[in-house]
Amino acid sequence: MADYEQIAQLIDRYDRAVDGLEQQVIDRVNAAMDTAFRDLERELRRTYPDLQNEGALATFALKTAKFDKLKALLDGVLPGSQRAEIEALYQEALQLASDAGIDLANNLIEQIDPNYPLETFSGVPVEAIAAQARDGVRRLYRYPTEFATQASAIVETGLGQGWGTAKTSRQLRQALGTTKSKAETIARTEVMSSYAKSSMARYEAAGLDLVTWITSPSEGLCVYCAARHGRTYRRQDITYPLHPRDRCVLLPASQDWKDQGLSDEAWLQESRQQILDELTEKGQRPNYGPAPFEKSAGLTAAPTPVWSP
C-alpha cells in the first residue's frame, strides 16, 4: 500500500515550488505598477493644485491640456512597452509549472505503483504554453485599463468635492491595490492551471482515466473543493482547476490499484472527514453543486464520483 502521508508531503513540496513561480510573476508585475504609480503621484502633486485653481471649471479640467500628461499616466499604470517582457516572464513561469506538474505526476504514479509501466512523455507543446501566456497577459492588461477609468473618476470627484492632493492620492492607491489583487489572481490561476493541465496530460498518456481529488492546505478551506476531497472521478468528467487560485492536486487512481489494495482508502476516508469537520467548525457546509469555472463553462451540475471513501 502506498504511503499517503509521504504523498501528502510530496504534494506540499511541489506546491511550495509552484508558489515561488507565481510569486516571481506577481513581484515583476507589481514592480512595474509601482514604478508607473510613482510617476503618476509625482505628476499629480505637480498638476493637481493647478487643476483645483480652475474653481468652478474643475469638472471640465479633465479636458484641458493641463491634464493630458496626468491622463496618460493614469492609462499607463502597467506600461504597454513592458507587455512583451511580462509575456515572456509568464511563458517561462508556465513552462516551469508545466514541467513541475509532469514531474509530480510521474512521482505520484511511482509512489502508488512502483511497477507501473511509464513510457516517455514529451510534455505539453510549447505552442500551447505560449498561447496560454498570451491569453493570461491579455486578461492581465484588462485590469489596468479598468484602473485608468476608475482613477480618472477619482480625480474628477476629488476636484469637484475639493479633496486635497493627499486624499486623492490615497484613493488612487486604494484603487491600485484592487488592481494588484486582480493581477495576482490571474498570475496564480494561470500558473496553477499550467501545472494542473500538464499532470492531467501525463495521466492521459499513461492510460490512467481516474483521479482522486486532494485539497491543498495552502489554499485554505473551499466549500467546492472540500466537497470533492478524497473522492475519485473520471478524468474526462472534471474541470480543473475549479476556481481562481485553486491549488488542489489530483492523485492518479485506478480500479486495479484499489482492488490490489495499493490505494489507502482508510487514509482518504479519515482525511475527508477531517476536512468536512474543519468546514463545519467554520460554520460552512460543502457545496456539491458546480464550481465557478464549471458554471462559466456552461455546466449545471458537478461531476458524479466513481467512488467516495
Q: 3-class DSSP state for residue 220?
A: coil
Categorize the per-residue pLDDT at 219 as very low, low, confident or very high, splitting at 50, 70 and 90: low
pLDDT digits (tens, 9 = 90+) for 169-201: 999 999 999 999 999 999 999 999 999 999 999
pLDDT for the residue 161: 85
Residue 63 has pLDDT above 70, yes or no: no
The full set of domain ranges for the chain reads 1-206, 209-309
Kindly state the average pLDDT of the residues 96-123.
93
CB 272 within 8 A of CB 230: yes
The structure's pTM equals: 0.87
Alpha-carbon distances of 259 from 1, 56, 73, 262, 265, rounded to whole Å: 11, 81, 64, 8, 11
Residue 213, φ and ψ in degrees, nearest 5: -80, 130
Residue 29 has pLDDT above 70, yes or no: yes
Write the CB contacts of 3 (distance below 8 Å, at least 6 apart in sequence).
111, 264
Residue 223 has pLDDT above 50, yes or no: yes
* Residue (of 82, 51, 55, 54) closest to 68 by Cα position: 51
Higher pLDDT, 61 or 4: 4
Categorize the per-residue pLDDT at 54 as very low, low, confident or very high, splitting at 50, 70 and 90: low
* Residue (of 225, 226, 228) closest to 276 by Cα position: 226
Rg of the chain over all Cα atoms, to the nearest angstrom: 24
CB atoms within 10 A of CB 85: 12
Categorize the per-residue pLDDT at 306 as very low, low, confident or very high, splitting at 50, 70 and 90: very high
- Average pLDDT over all residues of the chain: 89
pLDDT for the residue 147: 87
